[in-house]
Amino acid sequence: MWRAGLRFARPLGAGGAIALAMVMAAPTSAEPLTSLAEPSVRSPIARDSFYFVMTDRYRDGDPDNNTGGVIGPSSVTGFDPSSDAYFHGGDLVGLTGSCDASDPDDHGLARIKHLGFTAIWITPPFVQRTVQGDSAAYHGYWFLDLSRPDPHLGDREDFRAMVDCAHRLGMKVFVDVVVNHTADVITYEEGTSYVPIGRVPYRTAAGRAFNPWSYTTGRSFPRLNVDRSFAKAPRVDAGFADAKVPTVLNELTRYHNRGDIDWSSCVGRCEMDGDFAGLDDLMTEDEDVVNALAMAYGDWIKEYKVDGFRIDTARHVDPYFLGRWLPKIDRTARASAVPRFTTFGEVWLDSPAELSEMMLDRSLPSVLDFPFQDAARQFATGQASAGLLAALFDEDDYYTSASTNAYGLTTFLGNHDMGRIGFFLLTQSQSQGDELTQRALLAHDLLYLTRGVPVVYYGDEVGMTGSGDGRDRTARQDMFSSKVAAWQGEQRIGGAPIGTGSSFDVDSPIAERIAELSSLREDHPALASGAMITRLAEGDVLAVSRIDSVTRTEYVVAFNGADTAERVSIPTSTPSTPWTPLLGGPPVGSGADGTLTVTVPARSSAVVKAMRSLPTPAKPRVTLMSAEDFVTGRYRLEATVPGPDPSSVTFLIRRAGGAWEPVGTDDARPFRVFVPPMSGGPGSAKAQIAAVVTDSMGRTAATRPVSLDLTPFL
């Protein structure tokens, strides 16, 4: 079970989350409050779907750049297409292709568009340290120079042409950016073992011990001295003293310099101050570093109008960095006429409670949904029943604030680090042949038809799997004809091993399904970003409703992970109505109580749409209670709205002396938001709360304001 991996930051109260303090508000109307009702927010990418592409492995459009403009052995050029650890020749020109949407032979962006994707996320394109140890930087996570693309991938004009083509085809471009570290050019004579701050503190150039976290709110950062300020004596590799751009990053005082993160023991500060496997860990507390990274990355928005960033290793920067850096990036985006610019972060955590803190406390608009990946993998491989997914979605409310919620999470089934969904299906499910293909389709159905923004890892659409441990370098296969022997013989889901052939010539049932699911989301926006209500988790069947709030139409999506067809009775908000199938299964009808009985074939999904709109509900009513949430240390506000209407609830708070402010709007039962405690002077924890319900007809009702004491309780 995925919950076994939870690491609670704070101890659970006796018996878990028990409500200790409850307040009830009478369901009376309070006119001024109802005017504060807001719709549940949607991220600028809520209706998008992403194709995550490793540029070096996608398509070689220019063999002349394969050695990055230098001559020599692979240890110098980084180029060795027969090794899974080196550059293979893919580049920006190849990714761009002919940019002709009517050309069926185009294997570049037009192909990706044809698969239905509305956005791409590319691995970091910046100039790399070509080779480190036994690997080259084909993946892009070892930058030296942020001012231009790596010469293996092309030049600035190639990059511009790629972005322009994507925009012409109606696709967004998200660039993977690294803010935690640079390439590894700094070493320590003392070795790599991590030295805790408690043992050797940071010291100013004058010798005074200090905590960098004390300088993250505007106080100017102290001057440091390379010999006196750090736990280690940093030395730079020969030839790299001036290699980094922006140039301030060449100063050795701009790094933490205290050794590698020890993954077996590190919890807390060491994750942020330690080097990630030797990669030079930036002193992200230093305002000059914040500004340099904001300028350098901002230029890619200004210059090329990229639509967003995926932020690598976001968990490993200091807790204040993103709150300082993102507003600068957003300002640049607005000034560059990219007003819907947004970001999502890589935060590899299994618990929604912890993961949501990266959004609520550290300013990230969205994160990659690792808990979804884990639950979807277990369900699709037949290892977990539907209850696991229902439990996951039950925790969605942790992500809700006035500007964020789970609809903006980027969801995925596998990636370049953990491995492909095909590998998980192959090694963890009991299925083979057509049954294995059905499980792959089921996994993608889940990805596309539940809340969140689907991200497909390139190559998954042609059934790539993997071999060995299936992770990292073994999960980064070529789309073009590969010279890596292991990859030629790997099993493909829904197809034969590729041999020396090209994956662009493969017709895969997975690619077909992805295109179909994309069309479904486009034709029926509720399936992409409509309110999602978990209706049923019974054995291996999960059913959810998606609500189109404009047309007041309900959809039901059911997923069956069992090896047998399952007949289930699903509660809905739309009684006595015929429902038409959009994917799988025959037409069905709901009973007078709204129950819809559907048979879902083995290892597959069914999508049906109500042919009549939601019935007119009774006059809306709402009650509110609050309780302490011992998982997060926040106060849980929970509203109850009687009846089956899929309403939404806006939660409001008024802190001592202030005005009413929205906490967030929830559009799926149970209606909840979580409010952080307030510490400070006497009386500062006193607040008032209220809730406003908006029903599907747009009618509102509010609770009376009630008092809540937000004193910290953990």
Measured from the CB atom, the residue of 336 and 545 that comes closer to Ca ion is 545
Shortest reach from residue 649's CB to Ca ion, in Å: 9
Residue 476: CB minimum distance to Ca ion, A: 16
What is the total residue count of the chain? 714
- Measured from the CB atom, the residue of 372 and 424 that comes closer to Ca ion is 372
Q: Which of the 8 DSSP states describes residue 56?
A: G
Taking CB under 5 A as the binding criterion, the range among 57-65, 352-360, 416-424, 687-695 that sits at the site for Ca ion is 57-65
d(CA 249, CA 77): 24
**Residues 527, 454: contact at Cβ < 8 Å?**
no
User: What is the chain's Cα-based Rg?
Assistant: 26
Comparison of 263 and 339: residue with beta carbon closer to Ca ion: 263
Instruction: Kindly state the number of chain residues that form the binding site for Ca ion, as judged by CB under 5 A.
Output: 13
- Regarding 354 and contact with Ca ion (CB under 5 A), the answer is no
Residue 38 within binding range of Ca ion, rule CB under 5 A = no
Q: How many whole angstroms separate alpha carbon 279 and alpha carbon 180? A: 9
Report the residue closest to Ca ion, judged by CB. Answer: 91
Smallest gap, in angstroms, from Cβ of residue 55 to Ca ion?
Answer: 10
Cα-based torsion angle of the residue sequence 705, 706, 711, 713 in order, rounded to the nearest 10 degrees: -120
User: Least distance from C-beta 87 to Ca ion, angstroms?
Assistant: 8
* 180 contributes a contact to Ca ion by CB under 5 A: yes
Please tell me whether residue 472 adopts helix, strand or coil conformation.
helix
Q: Which stretch binds Ca ion (CB under 5 A): 275-283, 481-489, 538-546, 596-604?
A: 275-283
Span from 135-143, 320-328, 599-607, 667-675 in contact with Ca ion (CB under 5 A): 667-675
Please give the C-alpha separations between residue 365 and each of 217, 328, 358, 517, in angstroms, as whole numbers: 21, 14, 9, 25
Query: Which one of the spans 85-93, 233-241, 320-328, 373-381 is the region binding Ca ion (CB under 5 A)?
Result: 85-93
- CA distances 534 to 444, 526, 545, 558, Å, are 18, 14, 7, 10
312 an active-site residue? yes
Q: Which is nearer to Ca ion, 429 or 482 (CB)?
A: 482
Q: What's the DSSP call for residue 607? A: E
Measured CA distances, 421 to 363, 487, 493 (Å): 30, 16, 10
Query: Which two tokens mark 133?
Result: 């140890």
Q: How far is the CB of 657 from Ca ion (least distance, A)?
A: 30
Nearer to Ca ion, 127 or 455 (CB): 127
Name the amino acid, one letter, at 22: M
E strands in 318-452: 342-345, 410-412
| Distance of closest approach, residue 371 Cβ to Ca ion, in angstroms | 16
Does an H or E element contain 438, and which? Answer: helix 433-449
Task: Quote the tokens at residue 624.
Answer: 């509110």
Assess contact for 417 and 471: CB atoms under 8 A.
yes
**512 is known as an active-site residue:** no
**666 near Ca ion (CB under 5 A):** yes
Q: Report the residue number, 272 or 375, with the smaller CB distance to Ca ion.
A: 272
Which one of 55-63, 639-647, 650-658, 702-710 is the stretch in contact with Ca ion (CB under 5 A)? 55-63
Torsion of the alpha carbons at 100, 106, 112 and 113, rounded to the nearest 10: 30
Q: Any idea what DSSP says for residue 10?
A: S
Identify the burial level of 657 via C-beta atoms within 10 angstroms of its C-beta, where 0-12 means exposed, 13-18 middle and 19 or more buried.
exposed
Q: Does residue 60 bind Ca ion (CB under 5 A)?
A: yes
For 256-376, strand residue ranges (E) read 308-312, 342-345
Pick 534 or 560: Cβ nearer Ca ion: 534
CB atoms within 10 A of CB 248: 17
Where does this chain touch Ca ion (CB under 5 A) — which range of 158-166, 486-494, 668-676, 705-713?
Answer: 668-676
Say which of 80, 346, 478, 490 is annotated catalytic: 346
Q: How far is the CB of 317 from Ca ion (least distance, A)?
A: 5
Q: Which of 43, 49, 55, 66 binds Ca ion (CB under 5 A)?
A: 66
Side-chain-side CA neighbours of residue 448 (13 Å):
30
Nearer to Ca ion, 284 or 351 (CB): 284
Q: Please list every residue from 371 through 410 that binds Ca ion, using CB under 5 A.
A: 397
Q: Provide the minimum distance between the beta carbon of 642 and Ca ion in the complex, in angstroms, as a whole number.
A: 16
91 touching Ca ion, by CB under 5 A:
yes
Among 65, 351, 560, 574, the residue binding Ca ion under the rule CB under 5 A is 65
Only segment of 18-26, 176-184, 519-527, 617-625 that touches Ca ion (CB under 5 A): 176-184
Q: Select 349 or 514, whichever has its Cβ closest to Ca ion.
A: 349
Q: Which of 307, 312, 330, 397 is catalytic?
A: 312
Please tell me whether residue 316 binds Ca ion under the rule CB under 5 A. yes
User: DSSP labels for 639-698?
Assistant: EE--SS---EEEEEEEETT---EEEEEE-SSSEEEEE----SSTTTTEEEEEEEEE-TTS
Residue with smaller CB distance to Ca ion, 272 or 413: 272
- Establish if 281 lies at the interface with Ca ion (CB under 5 A): yes
CA nearest to 577, candidates 560, 599, 558, 552: 552
Contacts of 150 (CB under 8 A, 6+ apart): 68, 125, 126, 127, 128, 137, 140
Q: Can you tell me which of 6, 30, 38, 62 binds Ca ion, judged by CB under 5 A? A: 62
CB of 91 to Ca ion, least distance (A): 4
668 binds Ca ion, rule: CB under 5 A: yes
**628 touches Ca ion (CB under 5 A):** no
Minimum CB separation of residue 64 from Ca ion in Å reads: 7
State the minimum distance, in angstroms, from the CB of residue 17 to Ca ion. 15
Q: Is 358 in the site for Ca ion (CB under 5 A)?
A: no
Interacting residue with Ca ion among 89, 454, 575, 646 (CB under 5 A): 89
| Smallest separation, CB 665 to Ca ion (Å) | 10
Task: Return all residues near 409 (Cβ < 8 A) that are at least 6 apart.
Answer: 344, 366, 367, 368, 369, 372, 399, 451, 452, 453
Alpha-helix runs per DSSP H in 524-608: 526-529
**CB under 5 A: which stretch of 129-137, 270-278, 408-416, 616-624 binds Ca ion?**
270-278
> 565: which DSSP letter?
-
Nearer to Ca ion, 125 or 561 (CB): 125
- Taking contact as CB under 5 A, which single stretch among the options 22-30, 126-134, 309-317, 407-415 is the one that binds Ca ion? 309-317
Task: Give CA separation, 469 vs 243, 306, 465, 510, 682, in Å.
Answer: 35, 35, 11, 23, 56
Catalytic residues: 312, 346
- Binding residues (CB under 5 A) for Ca ion: these are 60, 62, 65-66, 89, 91, 180, 272, 281, 316, 397, 666, 668
